[in-house]
Structure 1
Amino acid sequence: MLRDEQASPVLSLPARLTPADLERAAGPIDVRITPGARARVAEGHAFLTARLRSGAVVYGASTGFGPLVGYGGRTEAADQCDNVLAHLTCGQGDDLPPPVVRAMLLVRLAALARGHSAVTPGVLDSLAAVLRTDFAPAVPRLGSVGASGDLIPLAHAVQSLRGRGRAYCGTTQLPAASALARARLQPLALDGRDALALVNGTSLTTAAAALALARLRRAHATALRLTALLADLLGCAPGFASPALLDAYGHPDAVRAGATLRDLLRGTEPTGQRPLQEPYSIRCAPQLLGAVGAGLRHAGETIGDDLAGISDNPLFFPETGETAHGGNFFGQPVAFAADLLTLVAVQTANLAERQLDLLVDPQRNGGLPPMLAPDPGRQHAVQGVQLAATAMTAQMRRTATPASVQSLPTNGHNQDIVPFGTQAALNALDQAALLRLVQGSLALALRQAAHVTARRPTAPACAALLSRLTDALPPVDPDRPLDADVRRAAELLDGMPEEA
């Protein structure tokens, strides 16, 4: 349904979008096109119209698509729009989550608003109107190779905006025409090269990667918090985060991770009963999480560049009279960045899973009962939670194969090398979702550890985190189903600031 626009976030385009902007697009967002952008878009559309009237050959506007570029296209512009969409509406698999699809629409709108795609100005207004509601096209997951844009997912989205296929209003799936009517939206009208411009960009790849980045930045902060709480509960000495030690290591992100851990552990009082050297899941946490931070920083720069760019072909430059045919729809940079995000997510999950294992093992946890059970044998506490966390971590590891180098020629060898950025980005998003649950499992175990030991965190920051966990999660005593508790712990961690 149409929401009160006064309550919606406001975003002016064109702008350098951020992952936070894309997360806000999950709900109604008031997108406004600046007058300057509107003028550039109108100028680009007029330039294309004049070129076509002069008899110039423009890919996709007067020609066939892909390897059929050597053949003429349909003579009527609206018919040509139907043609590009019809043959691409063939995706398969489960629907993408509506927030991902809405983020994709925002990324596409931002690229078109930069004025070099020669779309009809009304296309921008239509997309902005959609984003002011809770409407989302139904888009199947499978179909894009991340080259020539995310053609098939975007074609499904555009068909839905025209009232064809399926769509969502909130979480309710409806025929697209019914969903448009419920949201009080008019079907999208297309002309010229509008349809090609809407599908000929890697907007799904970029949106999914940006959403994964936002979630993994939170997971990084969570990993630092949970590591500090684990060390404080066990009574570890904080020397593993020594500033001199980490300065000597030479990696700035490890130095930053160590500084954050020292802040979190400020005031801790070690028991003096721990080994001289802790297991790597504690001792090497600054180095591991520093590498995670470096990976997120690099991926963030690449994804940020993509959010600020134009993914389309051809591009039109009225100021110089140039129509440039090329490959700006080739999603290789974000494909590499998304695969890096997957590696970051999996290693962060490996850390959390090993920290959970350390916590439930009486040989290494400072004498806490096995599985943190108040009455071992009669109770099993987090034994099942550890099994599930191990299974989720194994799933993450099994699906961590890089997608960005799996090139498979297609499209009559027109697309003879492809980056598979869509698969890379969606996989990174999946990995972030599983990591969230692995970290929720560790958080639940830390809360349970406090229930079966007399020691309490001595660092104020760690004590505050434990207090939030104990307020949200009752102790496991007696045993009970814990699936909802893991999700509740993950939600609590989601609500904490991105910076630890």
Structure 2
Amino acid sequence: MTTTVTDAPVDLGAPLAGDHLIRAAAPLSLLISPPVRDRVERGREYLRAVLADDERPVYGAKTGFGALIGFAGREDEADQCDNTLAHLGAGQGPDLPADIARAALLVRAWSLAQGVSGVSAHVVDGLAAMFATTFVPAIPRYGSVGASGDLIPLAYATQALRGRGHAYVDGERMPADEALRRAGLTPLTLDGRDALALVNGTSVTTAATALALASVRASHRAVQDLTCLLVDLLGADPAFLDPRLISAYGHPGAITVADRMRATLVGTVPSGGRALQEPYSLRCSPQLLGAAEDALRYVDGVVTADLGGVSDNPLFFPDDDLVAHGGNFFGQPAAFAADVLAMVTASLGNLAERQLDLLVDPARNTGLPPMLAAGPGRQHGLQGVQLATTAFVAEIRRAVVPASTQSLPTNLHNQDVVPFGTQAALRSYDLAELLRLLCGSLALGLRQAVHVGGRRPTAPRCAALLDALADAIAPVDPDRPLDADVRLAADLVTAGRY
């Protein structure tokens, strides 16, 4: 069951980008150009030559794995594939989200297509065929330490492509062999080197970090816009964004953010009824959001490097007659980046929650009713939403402890230091969703504030944002469950549909 693919194909001979990973959640066409195929086949031919030389060791093709490298592997190539994968079937927990699973395999396909992993060309072909369908391997969340790649989760993905374990087609979970049949796919046939190359990389870590980054980037832009709408709605003076003031601060992210916020607030007219200095959640917003911008640029760089690098061991370089054994499967860069991303998420989430708290408080919101209730006492407005945002922030804070500092030796001390990048990345992916909900909660509060007496924004861009929210979401009058409205507002503001 191949699904029609209408978007431009992803060229495995060109740089991979975060947008490609987002697109991978749906059916996608992969382009394997003649130069890509040639380099993959050349790498495979070189591997064959090396394996024929009894004097040249090749980890995983002639040996056991991990701490058992000192023992010979199985002589039969198909058996060596099973030898690679069977023992890694030790994962536990719920399945990874489909977008992470498919994005991880896209990262893996790109890495293998660089021609230095020694894989068979049909492995890359098989991955390309999978992406044209809705097939998703069922991959348990827990089991990777991100040190020798994401061994356990990628082993489940590989086994599903062989017709073992479980997978999804059109969102339905079923045995993998049935899923392959429904998707019109042929089970992959692998030898030991193919199997090891499919699992011996940090593709799950990279994919989850990249997807989390894209989400946090969208929320970061949304918080900037919502802060501007809050400033305008309250009638606050945007002088805290003065370019001379921000330039003197000296941080490039703050300059970028303040420039964007000033553009959003063009045309605003302060009411003159606010205090000389606003609370920090407004007055210091360019400094906070600017620091987040600087941190996100660091994460951008790590993700770009990960997407453009080969994560595997060993690597094969035919031109130099070199089999290089090393640690390119070690996910420390993404571990640090994902931990930074979590810290950024915590600060942005806290800012959004504090701004909503300001908005619902009649002592600070220029006289609007408490909880923005249309009839306080008979109605409760945003009271439930504000309680939920407190819970969201608490959950983010609880989970933001850096994973990259938790190294724990394993594998008979072969892996005596580990980055725990997988944990960092998956945690950041989860927290990014809570940040989206905090954005949606603040957006809903701003929409309600105008309904209960807040002034209409005077800046055209702020007015356009408010109108988009008002068109999509009815005022809270009378009270109703607001969970779906929060999600709708989050979708609207993070997509920038205004």
CA contact (8 A) 1:137 1:161 kept: yes
Letter of the aligned partner of 1:218 in structure 2?
A
Deviation at 1:192, TM superposition (A): 4.4
Kindly state the Cα deviation for residue 405 of structure 1 after the two structures are TM-superposed.
1.2
Runs of 4+, deviation exceeding 4 Å: none
Alpha-carbon separation, structure 2, partners of 1:111 and 1:259: 38
* In 1, Cα distance between equivalents of 2:110 and 2:87: 26
Q: CA RMSD in A?
A: 0.9
Distance 1:360 1:97 in 2: 35
What is residue 236 of structure 2 aligned with on the other side? 236
Partner residue in 1 for 2:487: 487
Instruction: Report the Cα distance in structure 2 between the residues aligned to 1:62 and 1:486, rounded to whole angstroms.
Output: 56
What whole-Å deviation, never above 9, does each CA across 1:60-113 have from its counterpart, x for those lacking one? 000000010000000011100111100001100000011110000000000000
Cα separation, 2, equivalents of 1:341 and 1:14: 29
Tell me the TM-score normalised to structure 2 length.
0.99
Give the secondary structure class of the aligned counterpart of 1:375.
coil
For the residues of structure 2 that align with 1:250 and 1:492, how far apart are their CA atoms? Answer: 33
Counterparts of 1:198-237 in structure 2 under 5 Å?
198-237=198-237
Cα separation, 1, equivalents of 2:285 and 2:494: 21
Q: 1: CA distance between counterparts of 2:92 and 2:460?
A: 51
Gaps of 5+ in 1: none
Instruction: Summarize the alignment of residues 312-391 of structure 1 with structure 2, pairs less than 5 Å apart.
Output: 312-391=312-391
Aligned-partner Cα distance in 2 for 1:33–1:338: 31
Q: Indicate if the aligned counterparts of 1:441 and 1:486 stay in contact, CA closer than 8 A.
A: yes
Q: Distance in 2 between matches of 1:69 and 1:338?
A: 31
Amino acid in structure 2 at the alignment position of 1:40? R
Counterpart amino acid of residue 229 in structure 2: L
Are residues 1:302 and 2:289 paired?
Answer: no
Q: Matched residues in 2 for 1:241 and 1:168: separation?
A: 50
**1:113-124 maps to which residues of 2 (within 5 A)?**
113-124=113-124
Q: Which has the higher mean CA deviation after the structures are superposed, 186-195 or 319-328?
A: 186-195
Q: Is the 8 A contact 1:119 1:194 kept in 2?
A: yes
Give 1:172-183 correspondences, 5 Å limit.
172-183=172-183
Q: Structure 1, residues 440-466: CA drift from partner, whole Å, max 9, x if none?
A: 011000000010115100000000000
When residues 223 and 454 of structure 1 are mapped into structure 2, their CA distance, relative to the original with a 3 A threshold, is: closer
Cα offsets for 1:232-267 (capped at 9, x unmatched): 000000101110000000001101111111111100
Counterpart for residue 27 of structure 1: 26
In structure 1, C-alpha distance between the alignment counterparts of 2:348 and 2:235, rounded to whole Å: 23
How far did 1:347 drift? 0.4
**CA deviation string 1:429-450 (max 9, x = no partner):** 0110110001101100000001
**Is this contact kept in 2: 1:8–1:28, CA < 8 A?**
no
Q: Which residue of 2 aligns with 1:80?
A: 80
| 1:415 alignment partner AA | Q
Task: Name the SS for the 1:179 alignment partner.
Answer: helix
- The unaligned stretches of length 5 or more in structure 2 are none
Q: Would you say the 8 A contact 2:223–2:348 is kept in 1?
A: yes
Q: 1:140 matched to which residue of 2?
A: 140
The residue aligned with 2:17 is 18
Whole-angstrom CA distance in 2 between matches of 1:380 and 1:455: 21
- Partner amino acid for 1:217? R
- Percent of paired sites with the same residue: 60
Query: Residues 483, 464 of structure 1: CA spacing in aligned structure 2 closer, same or farther, 3 A cutoff?
Result: same
Matched, 1:291 2:298: no
Q: 3-state DSSP class of the match of 1:380? A: coil
Cross-structure match for 1:128? 128
- Partner of 2:167, secondary structure, is strand
- Aligned mates of 1:192, 1:200 — CA distance in 2: 12
Counterpart AA for 2:406: Q
Structure 1 counterpart of 2:472: 472
Kept after mapping to 2: 8 A contact 1:15/1:110: no
**Post-superposition offset of 1:415:** 0.1
Tell whether the 8 Å contact from 2:79 to 2:192 is kept in structure 1 after alignment.
no
Check if 1:45 corresponds to 2:44: yes
Secondary structure of 1:141 counterpart: strand
Match in the other structure for 1:448:
448
Tell me, what secondary structure is at the counterpart of 2:215? helix
What is the aligned partner in structure 2 of residue 275 from structure 1?
A: 275
Between the aligned partners of 1:454 and 1:134, the Cα distance in structure 2 is: 47
The one-letter code sitting in structure 2 at the alignment partner of 1:207 is: A
In 1: Cα distance, 2:392 partner to 2:220 partner: 18
Aligned residues: 497
Q: Deviations over 1:194-230 (max 9, x none)?
A: 0000000000000000001111110111010000000
Can you list the C-alpha shifts for 1:381-405, whole angstroms capped at 9, x where unaligned?
0000000011011000000000011
| 2:11 aligned with 1:9 | no
Q: Which amino acid aligns with 1:54?
A: D
